[in-house]
Amino acid sequence: MGLLTSEQEKQYPRIAYMLDYLFQQQFDLRYELTISLSTEHMELYPAGCEKKLCIPMSGFLMQSTIESSFKEWFMDFADQRIEVTEDGGLNFDVLAAQFFLLSRYEEYLTFEADSFGRYQAKNSSLFKKGLLQVPLVDRWTMDFMNRWNQIFPQHRIQLRNVHEENLLTIDIDKAYAIKYASPFHLGRTLIKSLVHGSISEAWWKWRVWFGKEQDPFDQFDHIKKLNERYGLEPKVFVLCGESKGYDQNLGLENEHIRQAIFSLAKPSSIGIHPSIRSTTSFMVLSEELDYLARHLGQKPGMSRQHFLKLSLPQSYDWLCELGIKEDYTMGYAEVPGFRAGTSKAFYWFQLKDNKSTPLKVVPFSVMDTTLCDYMALSCEEAVQQVKLIKDEAIKYGGRLGVLLHQESPGGYGRWKGWQNFYEEVLKLISE
């Protein structure tokens, strides 16, 4: 049951969403809360209490449209900490500021996309304010709790699920580099090596294809043992689209490929990794989901877009329509940080229709290819970057969410020198 009346929820769905987010998802509230709402401010207090907490209302949560002025407003308050004014109120509309980040409001505005059509980190308000690696929503939540407890010492609140379990996720973009490739693909890659004058590389690929040497992407047994050693159960996302362009997966019809991938997690922890092609076709996305369901033996409930190609609201609208319950795409490819300002899961608010949805958004804050490809860090530097992100998340009651690829321990190609990265990250997750 919501904290507002049914009429208020209908009239102000954004306010209802934020009150639910704070007082029902983030705080362990063990008493009745009274709310008085006007266009200028909101008063909140424990039922029967004489003191009140007043939050100034900027007006943005009462709107039903999408306005560029909201981003301009947010930029003025992004680096503010919550303080109590002399008259007992808060110094700014923190509910609106948190909503701006959680709803990904700025991704509905006009922006400069990258070559893959993705929203870029450099466009974001957090990046421009130097706050992308600060879980700002979580920090404001903790600030709010502290100010509340300062005003109502007899009616204290506390965070739910303080220090949630750190999150390990694995994307299977391509199960094997050469092994199980079609003869056509083998011939093409051999010709490519020979054209570049690398006879030794061509010979090595030939031997891998014939099973004379281990495929460097075949790290399934190794990472499964590491996961078990550190007591971790990953969420695994499998690319199932047509092998074309940037979608270079191998089919699940092959029993060896299917068993290797599915051995990493229980069926309920395996999700779809929608292809780039599927981002512009609902039919293709539906076909890929059905394909994985047939081989998995059950309909997947989780998703993460390949190449993190997320287009709001279309991507999430389609996932909702197909019955996906959780999405794990919320993060950036080019830089680590907190895209939605939080390390915690939250429910998606659909701005175009101005309504809450049952789709749970589970963010990650750092990806191995970001550190290796985009930032060109060494393995040691990358581990330190993961630690910094973890420390920042834990500081505000959050968690570390990482995205890894199964091939990195093989040390092949771009992963040369990164053989130990996977295990080092597992150590950080399990601490």
d(CA 80, CA 155): 26
Instruction: Domain of residue 281: give its range.
Output: 167-177+215-430
What is the pLDDT at residue 404?
98
Same domain, yes or no, for 277 and 340? yes
Among residues of the chain, what percentage have pLDDT more than 90? Answer: 77
Confidence band of 1 (pLDDT split at 50, 70, 90):
very low
For residues 84-105, average pLDDT: 94
Same domain, 128 and 246: no
For residue 285, being part of any structural domain is answered with yes
83 lies in the same domain as 230: no
Across the chain, mean pLDDT equals 93
pLDDT band at 180 (very low <50, low <70, confident <90, very high): confident
List pLDDT tens digits, range 202-244.
Answer: 877 788 788 888 988 999 999 999 999 999 999 999 999 777 7
pLDDT, tens digit, 9 for 90 and up, residues 62-76: 999 999 999 999 999
The reply to whether 120 and 231 lie within a common domain is no
- Count how many domains the chain has: 2
Q: Does residue 86 lie in a domain region?
A: yes
Q: Do 55 and 98 fall within a single domain?
A: yes
pLDDT at residue 2, as a whole number: 64
Specify whether 232 is located in the same domain as 144: no
Instruction: Quote the CA–CA distance of 323 and 8 in Å, as a whole number.
Output: 29
171/139 same-domain check: no
Over range 351-365, report the average pLDDT: 97
Tokens of 39: 């266009």
| Residue 56: pLDDT over 80 | yes
Query: Quick check: is 426 in a domain?
Result: yes
Burial readout 22-52 (b: 16 or more C-beta within 10 A, e: otherwise): bbeebbebeeebeeebeeeebebbbeebeeb
- Residue 186 in any domain: the answer is no
Which CATH number is 396's domain given? 3.20.20.370
Quick one: pLDDT band at residue 163, thresholds 50, 70, 90?
A: low
Residue 357, in any domain of the structure: yes
Shared domain check, 227 and 145: no
Q: Are residues 250 and 105 in the same domain?
A: no
Once rounded to an integer, what is the mean pLDDT over residues 155-167? 84
Reading the block at residue 356, the tokens are 């809450």
Q: Are residues 379 and 267 in the same domain?
A: yes
Nearest partner of 138 among 20, 21, 59, 16, judged by Cα: 21
HSE at residue 221, side-chain half, CA atoms within 13 A, is 5
* Concatenated DSSP letters of 76-118: HHTTPPP-B-TTSBBSS-HHHHHHHHHTTGGGGS-----TTSP
- Averaged pLDDT, 259-263: 94
pTM, 2 dp:
0.94
Strands of the sheet containing 41-46, edge to edge, are: 33-37, 41-46, 53-56
Per-residue confidence (pLDDT) for residue 162, from 0 to 100: 64
What pLDDT, on a 0 to 100 scale, did the predictor assign at position 194?
Answer: 80
Q: Fill in the amino acid letter for 292.
A: L
Please write the tens of the pLDDT for every residue from 300-352: 999 999 999 999 999 999 999 999 999 999 999 999 999 999 999 999 999 99
In this structure, of 44-48, 179-183, 380-384, 412-416, the range with the lowest mean pLDDT score is 179-183
Residues 172 and 141 in one domain: no
What are the tens digits of pLDDT across the range 28-47? Answer: 888 888 898 888 999 999 98
Please tell me the distance from the alpha carbon of residue 396 to that of residue 139, in angstroms, as a whole number.
6
Clarify whether residues 248 and 282 are in a common domain: yes
Q: How confident is the model at residue 186 (pLDDT cuts 50, 70, 90)?
A: confident
DSSP state of 4: S
Nearest to 17 by CA among 321, 360, 357, 398: 357
For residue 425, is it within any domain?
yes
Residue 203, domain member (yes or no):
no
Residue 364: the pLDDT is 98
Separation CA 312–CA 348 (nearest Å): 11
392-405 pLDDT, tens digit each: 999 999 999 999 99
Give a yes or no: residue 301 inside a domain. yes
**Average pLDDT score over residue span 355-379:** 97
- Spacing of C-alpha 184 from chain mean position: 36
